[in-house]
Amino acid sequence: MRNPTTAGEALTTDQSSARLRGIALMLAANICFASIDTIAKLLVGSMSSVQVTWARFAGAFVAALVLSNVFFHPERMRSRRPLLQLGRSTLLFVSNLVVVYALKFLQLDQTSSILFATPFVVAALSIPLLGEWIGPRRWAAIGAGFVGVLIVIRPGLGGIHPAAFLCLAAAFAVALYQISTRVLSSVDSSATTMFYTNMAGTVVLSACAPLFWITPTPLEALLMFTMGTVATIGHYLLIAAHRLAPASVLAPFMYTQLIWMIFYGYVVFNQLPNHWTLAGASVVIASGLYLLYREVKVKGQTAPVSGDPVA
């Protein structure tokens, strides 16, 4: 007869191993998302943000078609909430386009720090949209997080380029995108949602891209292809990570993306974050981790903060 204590310990070991693998996949996904923004910033130096964003969406859409295997499983293209799926896809497309344009004027670490405000927006919007209640401590964390964003932007105090406000608007769009994802998770499969994710961006930008088209060099064409491929890989790594570990375990590791943004910013663009960006990012991250702690403590779950929302 098996010793129940031993069996329980074995189960705990399996769970720990799965969580470690999930964390490793989350860290790898963050490298992918930081790489996407780096490639986008390289490309917008010589072509329009519309063309660059098209490359990201078209490449990811084709890759998602192959990976979700909708050709042999056409039922995966049918959604119970098609309008919400298209709305979610549009939010992702708009936020990506805005951020890619902002990358012309901002450093990688600056865009990343501002977009880390997304969890606070999600928490705030969950009240009217999802009927969730938030206590005073979480409201304080949300307020502190936005103070951190203001430290990075420094409006009216000789702060960074006004494009920073585009990133802040993108954070609101991504928050609505994440809330839509939460709603759709209860009615559609992951494969269906993945199929719709890049649809709006691909359709709209395929119609607009010829108006802004600049023939890329062979290296730029390779970078465009790589960006779409890496975007798909990153999202699949993210999905796999959440199958292995709870969101509350993975969420704190989303902030490692800032490390890669700083690394790429220095190696590729010879840019280092200034003290305002570092101070603001520290406040945002600390507030985000506290918000996560309160979510877990109060509800046993976390707000959806999963990697780079606009990757």
pLDDT of residue 34: 93
Report residue 30 as tokens: 């963050």
The Cα 254–Cα 178 span in angstroms is 15
The chain-wide mean pLDDT, for the chain, equals 84
Token pair for residue 223?
């970078």
Residues ≥6 apart with Cβ < 8 Å to 249: 19, 22, 23
Give the least confident one: 47-51, 153-157, 211-215. 153-157
- State yes or no: pLDDT of 8 exceeds 50: no
- What's the whole-model pTM score? 0.82
Please write down the HEC assignment for all residues of the chain. CCCHHHHHHHHHHHHHHHHHHHHHHHHHHHHHHHHHHHHHHHHCCCCCHHHHHHHHHHHHHHHHHHHHCCCCCHHHHCCCCHHHHHHHHHHHHHHHHHHHHHCCCCCHHHHHHHHCCHHHHHHHHHHHHHCCCCCHHHHHHHHHHHHHHHHHHCCCCCCCCCHHHHHHHHHHHHHHHHHHHHHHCCCCCHHHHHHHHCHHHHHHHHHHHHHHCCCCCHHHHHHHHHHHHHHHHHHHHHHHHHHHCCHHHHHHHHHHHHHHHHHHHHHHHCCCCCHHHHHHHHHHHHHHHHHHHHHHHHHCCCCCCCCCCCC
Question: Residue 73: what pLDDT?
Answer: 79
Q: What is the pLDDT of residue 210?
A: 93
**Residue 231, pLDDT above cutoff 60:** yes
Q: Region 254-273: what's the mean pLDDT?
A: 91
CA–CA separation, 18 and 267 (whole Å):
33
User: Is residue 61 predicted with pLDDT exceeding 80?
Assistant: yes
What mean pLDDT do residues 141-149 have? Answer: 88
| Per-residue model confidence (pLDDT) at position 10 | 44
Q: pLDDT > 90: what percent of the chain?
A: 37
